[in-house]
A = this chain, B = another copy of it.
Amino acid sequence: MATTTTAAAAAPGGFEPEPLLTPAEVATMFRVDPKTVTRWAKAGRLSSIRTLGGHRRYREMEVRELLTGR
């Protein structure tokens, strides 16, 4: 496997899996409580993807942009 630096492909169909972050990871990045991140998602300030069990996952790209000040 020639995984250079941008290793992202996980599906053989040329399908690109999107990098996601857990609530705890986002909370750490913003230096807030995970509950606060959940509130942001509920308020629509932050888009979230749900696991089949109901847990939230956040787009790394979106979080990075918000951290960078957009």
| Interface of A toward B, CB cutoff 8 Å | 10-13, 15, 17-22, 24-25, 28-32, 36, 40, 45-46, 49-53, 57, 60, 64, 66-67, 69
| A22 nearest in chain B by CB position | B31
The verdict on A13 contacting B60 (CB below 8 Å), with A31-B21, A36-B51, A51-B36 known, is yes
Are B31 and A57 closer than 8 Å at their CB atoms?
yes
Q: Which residues of B are found within 8 Å of A24, using beta-carbon distances? A: 10
Copy total for this chain: 2
Are A10 and B31 closer than 8 Å at their CB atoms?
no
Q: Which residues of B are found within 8 Å of A32, using beta-carbon distances? A: 51
Q: Which residues of B are found within 8 Å of A66, using beta-carbon distances? A: 52
